[in-house]
Amino acid sequence: MVQGTIDCSEQVIKKLFDNIMDQNQLSVLNQITSRESSEKFADLITSLEEKLKRCGHLKKGNIICAQRDRAVSTIRCLTHFYTCTSVTFATAVSSLDRFLSKVKVQPKYYSCVATACFYLSIKFLDEDENAPSATQLSNLMQHAWKSSDLKRMEMVILQKLDWNLWVETCPSLLKTLCDIIQNFTTSPMLDQLIQKFETCINYSSCAIYSTATLALALIHHSLKESNLMNDAVRQCVLDLHNICQVSDAEFYECQAAVGQVLDNYKNSPKTHPRCLPTPKPFLRPNLVSRPSLYGDSELPAIEENPSLEVVVSESESDIFIKYVDQKYVYGGQSWSRCILPQKSATCSLE
């Protein structure tokens, strides 16, 4: 029965797909009024297809590891620090993933690899003024590696990736998809989608899926959350599934993963993967001091007000002191007595 349902839906989708290809008989396009909009819509679809061609492809299974997630966190931190766009971030992560799928990296080099990916990405995509220098990056990572190491790592990565940095990433796909859906309903907020993407890509459980799958899963999640899912939109989304050539099985897996990650993020944000460990910053000794360590004198402590039962000595003057004490204690003044050791402490005079 399930198979039957699937077959049924497949046929429906195929039909719709054919419909879309035939510009003159677009059933879906009936809702779009003017000729211009329909042309725009067609443009969008074409651009989507082009983008899909440029997406990067990953060999599945190689990149699932905790280190990778931490590396992505590091890249995210760097992105925030240098105020880069999410496209920069996504490109960096994509380069990282593709690199990791080809090469096994030792844990101690992860920080260098992650920073190198970020470095490449920012040089490639962002304005020059923003870009940090290799020395700056090495300084940020507390000199765990040198700037020359970073540059060598850059070359290695470029070689392994065949200098193919210009891949289409999720954020740009999301933009196109949002534009398409905008024609049918109020589009889900692009910023929120990108935010969700950044969260999800941090986990290798989501990163193993293709760009298009992830994008569609995110859109799905967003639409469901904001209750925008009506029939027309659903149809559109199904059409998009076909255009992007996303298989159902993969889509459902991805959707589950995305849902779990985003729930986790909302409810227990502390479980988010931490960044890669860096050495602690070096503290300048003349700036940081513990003043009370130096202020601790060698003078022994003088006890105040010990227990009243112990009598200091048997002399008469002591009885006088006791009497005086009682008088003044009631008077509210603070006279203190003390137990004097018979032998007082000798001190060194030097």
Contact residues: another protein, CB under 8 A: 73, 76-77, 80-81, 83, 136, 139-140, 142, 195, 199, 265-266, 269-270, 272, 274-275, 278, 280-281, 283-284, 287-297, 299-306, 315, 317, 321, 333-338, 340, 342-347, 349
To the nearest whole angstrom, how small is the minimum distance from the Cβ of residue 345 to another protein?
Answer: 8
What phi-psi label fits residue 26: left (phi over 0), alpha (psi between -120 and 50 degrees) or beta? beta
Closer by beta carbon to another protein, 203 or else 209: 203
Closer by beta carbon to another protein, 283 or else 310: 283
Q: What CA–CA distance (Å, rounded) separates 1 from 7?
A: 10
What phi-psi label fits residue 333: left (phi over 0), alpha (psi between -120 and 50 degrees) or beta? beta
Q: Which residues contact 157 (CB under 8 A, 6 or more apart)?
A: 95, 99, 113, 116, 117, 120
Closer by beta carbon to another protein, 18 or else 303: 303
To the nearest whole angstrom, how small is the minimum distance from the Cβ of residue 182 to another protein?
Answer: 22
Closer by beta carbon to another protein, 17 or else 265: 265
To the nearest whole angstrom, how small is the minimum distance from the Cβ of residue 75 to another protein?
Answer: 12
To the nearest whole angstrom, how small is the minimum distance from the Cβ of residue 298 to another protein?
Answer: 9
As a residue count, the chain comes to 350
DSSP 4-67: HHHHHHHHHHHHHHHHHHSGGG-SGGGG--SHHHHHHHHHHHHHHHHHHHHB----TTS--SHH
To the nearest whole angstrom, how small is the minimum distance from the Cβ of residue 284 to another protein?
Answer: 7
Closer by beta carbon to another protein, 249 or else 347: 347
